[in-house]
A and B are shown apart, each in its own frame.
Chain A
Amino acid sequence: MIYAEHLRKEFKKIVKEPGLKGSFKALFRPQKEIIAAADDISFHVPKGEILGFIGPNGAGKSTVIKMLTGILTPTSGECRINGKVPQDDRKNYVKEIGVVFGQRTQLWWDLPLTETYSVLKEIYEVSDEDFKTRMAFLNEVLELESFIRSPVRTLSLGQRMRADIAASMLHRPKVLFLDEPTIGLDVVVKDNIRQAIMKINKEEQTTVILTTHDISDIELLCDRIVMIDKGRNVYDGSLRELKAKYGQTREMHFEADPNAGLTPEKLLKGLGASDEHITVECDRNLFKVRFNSAEIPVAKMLNHTLSVTAVRDISVKDADIEEIIRCLYKEGADGDE
């Protein structure tokens, strides 16, 4: 369905030194630098899958999305969606996709929502009949009814996002690109949006590519994730595999007896574990220990802790996905240096 092969996109950037002096320098001799916002990005997405496309800020997610949607022309490499190269026949290609940029809206700001839909109907050449059934479906999934007649500028962020998703779905796209669809929304609204995405994906077999910073989005929605950092692929696989691979991290929380006078140094002493497998944070008597259970078995860790101090309360749990991703980012960054 979607094939991205060795995508690369370069940008020219003018480097400016700070301050007044730098401004003057940039005036007379601008320093240019070429940076690759995306470099050798490859992945495939089968039909009907929801792919989570993640990475830290500035990793190049949006650049890749913009190449896939035909907005940017890759410097090298190629992408094919439904057998079409976006840049070759843009007009016909974009009829098959829907795009939502969470930070921008494609709705007519000053006019009621219905007006935007009737314009889009013409632009995408949706027949009257299709339009009717489509609006009914979107209305049901995204619950637009209560605000469809209000001017867009009066909508809340959550309503606007629902409206934007509906706008991108009007023409029954085969692929839906969602760039940060839950950004800035509260938990209840986020959940609403997720339900809707799932429903659309299920009922229409729409392939979805989703970028997000919200880990719950990924856990709840995505079959698979592709992670990029500094313009390069760092992970491609299912969430479960990721957890299995990096999920041996455990977190132990306990409250030490104040009389025991425990310090992180004292705790680590005699354990014989290297720094990369264990980190200790402490706030007065509250300790948080993160360790790799493959290197330091949980039982050993518990016994050791109990042998050096008396504790009031102790618990060990799996590290959550956020933690794993933080590790991965860190690994990517270290590998780069």
Chain B
Amino acid sequence: MNKIRKQYLPFARAGIQTLIAYRMNFLGFVIGGLIYCFVMYYLWKAVFLSSGGSTFMGFSMTDMVLYLFLSNMTSQLTFSSVSTDIGEEIRDGSIVMRMIKPVNTDMSYLFTELGGAFMKLIVFGLPVILGLETYRFAVSGTVMFDPLNFLLYFVSASLAYLISFRVNLCFGFVAFYVKNLWGIGILKNSIIGFLSGTLIPLAFMPDILRIILEYMPFASMSYTPVMLYMGKYEPTEILLRISLQLVWAVLIYGLSKLIWAGAVKRLSVQGG
């Protein structure tokens, strides 16, 4: 344990420093995400007005606001740039430099990212949660914050983070075959955005699609933690959802390891 701390903490620190150095880029993404949330907010407001009811498929407007901002924030927090990072490193060959260091390669990526995620949580996640709770308080007149749900959210979001990291790692290896990393990024984001429910709550989708998507790993990446925070699940379902996340975390871990092993072979065949 001590060894891990000593060996990998520098990577986490580097992650924090990178985020600070590129703070403006980070800010750009955050503000871009918030703008998107606001567009969606107005759109949903219009939808609620047009539907005439106070709830829409089981969601009140307050629920909707909570869902929009929370899922955007969660996907930002669990967002991993490892796919583009690793893609770039594969393309320019600098991945070799990572592999000659006496540390576990994907662990070094993970810790670099964790450093950044920690910063994001503090400067972005907490303010958003504070803002949302203030909003809920203003609308309902009572404190709606539920520490248990928050705890569940935190546990589930951490699992979501690990899954997202591994999924992105797998996407990164596509760089061995395709040069257009920008296109891959757009593709990845829109697929994950749709399948994970960030764009439209999975609850709104036709039943068959919803059930399939709920069991896919993408739902574990943002939908599950958000629904937990909102207290939308019964106790038995909470258990089911979190175990499902655990199962996916393990499966995807295995998959990324397999691909990684294949990639290393490929690297040595190419001669770096």
Q: Hey, which bits of chain A sit against chain B, CB under 8 A? A: 20, 23-24, 26-27
Q: Hey, which bits of chain B sit against chain A, CB under 8 A? A: 13, 16-17, 20-21, 23
Q: Least Cβ distance of A19 to chain B in Å?
A: 9
- Which of chain A's residues have a CB closer than 8 A to the CB of B20? 23-24, 26-27
The 8 closest A-B pairs by CB, nearest first: A23-B20, A23-B17, A27-B20, A20-B13, A20-B17, A27-B23, A20-B16, A23-B21
CA distance A20 to B23 in the complex (A): 14
Q: List 9 A-B contacts (CB under 8 A).
A: A20-B13, A20-B16, A20-B17, A23-B16, A23-B17, A23-B20, A23-B21, A24-B20, A27-B23
- Which of chain A's residues have a CB closer than 8 A to the CB of B13? 20
Name the residue of chain A whose CB is nearest to the CB of B19: A23
- Which of chain B's residues have a CB closer than 8 A to the CB of A24? 20
The secondary structure that dominates the B interface is helix
CA distance A27 to B122 in the complex (A): 15
Q: Least Cβ distance of B26 to chain A in Å?
A: 11
- Which of chain B's residues have a CB closer than 8 A to the CB of A23? 16-17, 20-21
- Which of chain B's residues have a CB closer than 8 A to the CB of A20? 13, 16-17
CA distance A154 to B191 in the complex (A): 36
- Which of chain A's residues have a CB closer than 8 A to the CB of B23? 27
Chain A CB within 10 Å, residue with most, of B13, B17, B21, B23: B17
Q: Least Cβ distance of B81 to chain A in Å?
A: 18
- Which of chain A's residues have a CB closer than 8 A to the CB of B21? 23
Name the residue of chain B whose CB is nearest to the CB of A16: B21
Name the residue of chain B whose CB is nearest to the CB of A24: B20
CA distance A75 to B13 in the complex (A): 39
CA distance A23 to B17 in the complex (A): 6
CA distance A27 to B21 in the complex (A): 8
Q: Least Cβ distance of B112 to chain A in Å?
A: 14
Name the residue of chain B whose CB is nearest to the CB of A20: B13
Q: Least Cβ distance of A154 to chain B in Å?
A: 16
- Which of chain B's residues have a CB closer than 8 A to the CB of A26? 20
Name the residue of chain B whose CB is nearest to the CB of A110: B179
Name the residue of chain A whose CB is nearest to the CB of B18: A23
CA distance A26 to B20 in the complex (A): 9
CA distance A302 to B256 in the complex (A): 73
CA distance A68 to B20 in the complex (A): 36
Name the residue of chain B whose CB is nearest to the CB of A22: B17
Q: Least Cβ distance of A111 to chain B in Å?
A: 15
Q: Least Cβ distance of A14 to chain B in Å?
A: 11
CA distance A71 to B20 in the complex (A): 31
CA distance A157 to B33 in the complex (A): 44
CA distance A27 to B20 in the complex (A): 7
Q: Least Cβ distance of A23 to chain B in Å?
A: 5
Chain B CB within 10 Å, residue with most, of A23, A24, A26, A27: A23
Name the residue of chain A whose CB is nearest to the CB of B179: A110
CA distance A23 to B22 in the complex (A): 11
CA distance A20 to B20 in the complex (A): 10
A20-B17, A23-B17, A24-B20 are known; give 8 further A-B pairs, CB within 8 A: A20-B13, A20-B16, A23-B16, A23-B20, A23-B21, A26-B20, A27-B20, A27-B23
CA distance A24 to B13 in the complex (A): 12
Name the residue of chain A whose CB is nearest to the CB of B16: A20
Name the residue of chain A whose CB is nearest to the CB of B17: A23
CA distance A170 to B181 in the complex (A): 35
CA distance A23 to B20 in the complex (A): 7
CA distance A24 to B16 in the complex (A): 10
CA distance A26 to B17 in the complex (A): 11
CA distance A90 to B21 in the complex (A): 35
Q: Least Cβ distance of A31 to chain B in Å?
A: 15
Q: Least Cβ distance of B55 to chain A in Å?
A: 44
CA distance A26 to B22 in the complex (A): 12
Q: Least Cβ distance of A224 to chain B in Å?
A: 40
CA distance A189 to B20 in the complex (A): 44
- Which of chain A's residues have a CB closer than 8 A to the CB of B16? 20, 23
Q: Least Cβ distance of A233 to chain B in Å?
A: 36
CA distance A27 to B16 in the complex (A): 12
Q: Least Cβ distance of A99 to chain B in Å?
A: 26
CA distance A24 to B21 in the complex (A): 9
